[in-house]
Structure 1
Amino acid sequence: MSKVEVHPKPLVPHGKIPNPLPQLLQTPSGLALLEMQGTINLPSHDDEDSTTTGSQSGVASQQTPVGRLIFPDYDPADNSKTGWMKRVYLYVGKHQRLTGEVKKLPKALAVIRRRNIEGEARMDVDSEEGEDRTEQLEVVEIVKYKIIFSIRPEPVGTWDAEDAI
């Protein structure tokens, strides 16, 4: 039987460990899930917006920015107001804008990852199948909100998308 220990997020991050998790959406209140109705058509890999980066395994990975997330009603000086949650824009490319809103999740979700233990090998060759092993997990973040885009995209001019930054 295997055991799993779950640890809370450390108050002070220990060491510079590259985060293996994909980037999540950052809102003024924390991380959020993205809920959309439809499909995002991404440009081909030879588009000028996409970038190629090297990964740890030596294989190049393709990254394409999908859009910019804008909270037009958010006031950083007053964090107590929640009016910013009523309107969110996602600019996809230079010609489309999705309008959505931030909703609280009925139950919060935990984003977890395996904890690296110093001096422990990644795979124990000498362990037997019946032997108890303990894995350690770490809570990276708690997600309490989702961003819902349920309205069809609106066409916008290039100047609109650039002014919204």
Structure 2
Amino acid sequence: MAPESVKVYPPNPQRSCASNPLPSTIQTPSGLAIIELQGTIAHTDELQAALHNESNSTLSLPVGHITFPNYNPDFQEEGSTAWMKKVYMFVGGHQRLRGEVKKLPQPVAIVRKRQAENEQSTGPEILDIAEIIKYKIVFSSRPEPVSSAT
């Protein structure tokens, strides 16, 4: 019996670029990024309930927001990586994770199943490389408490 195989195709060069708020060094055409978290994030009861609700297949609740305090595209020197040393992720109103952008030792290809042209298709599965990611955002320290007072 032959091993099962799946065809994999390179990214489509004609794909459209999603609008992306990430700094240009870590932008990808589809807007994907890798975030590495070390530990657990305390989250709201609403998010906890949604995560445990099996009928909720498209979860769209915000976990937090990421800021790059040293990145300013208008004043950034070409090729500068100094801004990569400081990244914050704010979770809820009470936690801040401090991290940095790191280059991956080897790029990572993200694959996704190609959508069948019709629902009746019974042909072999085909995978497309959705993105090749070269950087990740790493949050390796414990969350810091943040006061919500202004």
Same fold (TM over 0.5): yes
Equivalent residue, structure 2, for 1:68:
65
Percent identity of the aligned residues? 44
Equivalent residue, structure 1, for 2:141:
151
Q: 1:46-89 deviations in whole A, cap 9, x for unaligned?
A: 89xx98xxxxxxx4455432111001111223352211110000
Q: Say whether the 8 Å CA contact 2:43–2:91 is kept in structure 1.
A: no
Equivalence map 1:119-158=2 (5 Å): 119=118, 121-122=120-121, 124=122, 134-158=124-148
Offset of 1:26 from its aligned partner? 7.0
Equivalence map 1:19-30=2 (5 Å): 27-28=22-23, 29-30=26-27
Equivalent residue, structure 1, for 2:11:
9
**TM-score, normalisation: structure 1:** 0.65
* Structure whose alpha-carbon radius of gyration is higher: 1
Q: Say whether the 8 Å CA contact 2:44–2:92 is kept in structure 1.
A: no
Give the count of matched residue pairs. Answer: 132
C-alpha distance 85-37 of structure 1, shift in aligned 2 (>3 A): same
Offset of 1:119 from its aligned partner? 4.1
Q: Say whether the 8 Å CA contact 2:47–2:61 is kept in structure 1.
A: no
Q: CA RMSD in A?
A: 3.0
Q: Say whether the 8 Å CA contact 1:32–1:144 is kept in structure 2.
A: no
Q: 1:99-151 deviations in whole A, cap 9, x for unaligned?
A: 111111111111111112424624x3xxxxxxxx6432111111111222122
